């Protein structure tokens, strides 16, 4: 059989492929540069409009268009803030004993005054439940509900693991922790990425929770806590995922519960 293979032809073909790949890459780079240039041009236009000058001065009492900026930012914050609040979900047996915390308007607290915190060295964490309002239920899927509950379980274990032994069966000196997610508001990551180029994330989420701690042996209620968080841009990267700021709220309130029951004499759990 005649062999038509030519080393010179193969090298030429290979060289042509390399050149073609470089041309495609260069075109992509130019296209990306054009996009960045267009974005930069738009931002420059915004900056020029907002920059005070005789030609764009507002003759109706406002001396500079810079005075519009705080109003604009405020309206964005108000329009994109979560709307969580404390409400009776039915998870707790008694809501009348919950009292406002003078140091934190976002939480209601009950704590039995005579319980001996230092006598407890382990915790039994029951799986979290999700009790959402009909409006909140329409925002998220069944899988997302299950994921939120699982995240809450991990957050609670993380909050307590350093100073208490985590157990699955009650033993002497065990606290039983019950938790419920009673509200959730999601973020819009795509919108927050865009608005961050000019101002900051403006579509913020949050969550509300209810917690209860009982003596694992007697069943007596020792602590109850209801809290909510409406996140702000100050939470940073949490705003760039759909449930990031809801997760932030769950982490925060898990730690707040731990602070209430921290023993006077710290006992490090045996590993």
Tell me which H or E stretch contains 99.
strand 99-101
Residue 270 within a domain: no
Q: Are residues 46 and 86 in the same domain?
A: no
Instruction: Summarize pLDDT for 236-253 with one digit per residue, the tens.
Output: 666 567 788 889 999 999
Q: Are residues 26 and 85 in the same domain?
A: no
State the residue range of the domain holding 136: 81-261
DSSP string, 189-226: HHHHHHHHTTS------EEEEEEEEEETTT--EEEEEE
Q: Are residues 103 and 37 in the same domain?
A: no
Residue 161 within a domain: yes
Residue 243 within a domain: yes
Q: Are residues 12 and 141 in the same domain?
A: no
> Which residues are CB-neighbours of 154 under 8 A, at least 6 positions away?
none
Q: Are residues 243 and 123 in the same domain?
A: yes
Q: What is the pLDDT of residue 235?
A: 62
User: How far is the CA of 167 from the CAs of 5, 129, 270, in angstroms?
Assistant: 73, 19, 11
Number of domains in the chain: 2
Residue 266 within a domain: no
Q: Are residues 35 and 134 in the same domain?
A: no
Residue 73 within a domain: no
Task: Give CA–CA dist 222/114, Å, rounded.
Answer: 9
Q: Are residues 247 and 128 in the same domain?
A: yes
Q: What is the pLDDT of residue 187?
A: 75
Residue 127 within a domain: yes
Residue 1 within a domain: no
Instruction: Summarize pLDDT for 190-228 with one digit per residue, the tens.
Output: 666 667 666 666 667 889 999 999 999 999 999 999 999
Q: Are residues 245 and 131 in the same domain?
A: yes
| 233: CATH | 3.40.50
Q: Are residues 44 and 88 in the same domain?
A: no
Residue 130 within a domain: yes
Contact between 132 and 181 (Cβ < 8 Å): yes
Q: Are residues 26 and 125 in the same domain?
A: no
Q: What is the pLDDT of residue 121?
A: 93
pLDDT tens digits, the chain, 271 residues: what are they?
A: 444 444 444 444 544 554 444 443 444 434 444 444 444 454 444 444 445 455 544 444 444 444 444 434 444 444 445 566 678 889 999 999 999 999 888 999 999 988 999 899 999 999 999 999 888 888 899 999 999 999 999 999 999 999 999 999 999 999 999 999 999 988 766 666 667 666 666 667 889 999 999 999 999 999 999 999 886 666 666 656 778 888 999 999 999 999 999 865 444 444 3
Q: Are residues 36 and 88 in the same domain?
A: no
Q: Are residues 211 and 129 in the same domain?
A: yes
SS3 of 120, please? coil
Stated pTM of the model: 0.65
């Amino acid at each position: 059989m005649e062999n038509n293979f030519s080393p010179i032809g193969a090298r030429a073909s290979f060289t042509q492929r390399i050149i073609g790949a470089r041309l495609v890459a260069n075109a992509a780079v130019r296209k990306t540069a054009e996009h960045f240039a267009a974005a930069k041009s738009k931002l420059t236009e915004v900056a020029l409009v907002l920059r005070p000058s005789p030609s764009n001065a507002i003759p109706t009492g406002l001396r500079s268009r810079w005075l519009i900026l705080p109003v604009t930012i405020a309206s964005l914050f108000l329009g994109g803030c979560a709307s969580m609040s404390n409400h009776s979900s039915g998870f707790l047996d008694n809501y009348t004993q919950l009292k406002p915390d003078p140091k934190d308007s976002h939480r209601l607290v009950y704590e039995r005054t005579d319980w001996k915190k230092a006598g407890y060295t382990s915790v039994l964490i029951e799986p979290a439940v999700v009790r959402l309002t009909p409006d909140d239920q329409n925002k998220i899927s069944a899988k997302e509900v299950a994921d939120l509950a699982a995240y809450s379980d991990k957050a609670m274990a993380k909050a307590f693991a350093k100073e208490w032994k985590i157990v699955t069966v009650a033993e002497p000196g065990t606290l039983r922790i019950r938790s419920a997610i009673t509200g959730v508001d999601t973020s819009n990551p795509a919108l927050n990425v865009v608005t961050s180029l000019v101002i900051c994330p403006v579509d913020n989420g949050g969550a509300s929770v209810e917690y209860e701690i009982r003596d694992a042996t007697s069943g007596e209620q020792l602590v109850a806590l209801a809290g909510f968080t409406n996140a702000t841009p100050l939470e940073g990267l949490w705003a760039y995922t759909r449930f990031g700021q809801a997760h932030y709220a769950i982490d925060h309130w898990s730690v707040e519960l731990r602070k209430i029951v921290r023993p006077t004499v710290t006992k490090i759990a045996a590993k």
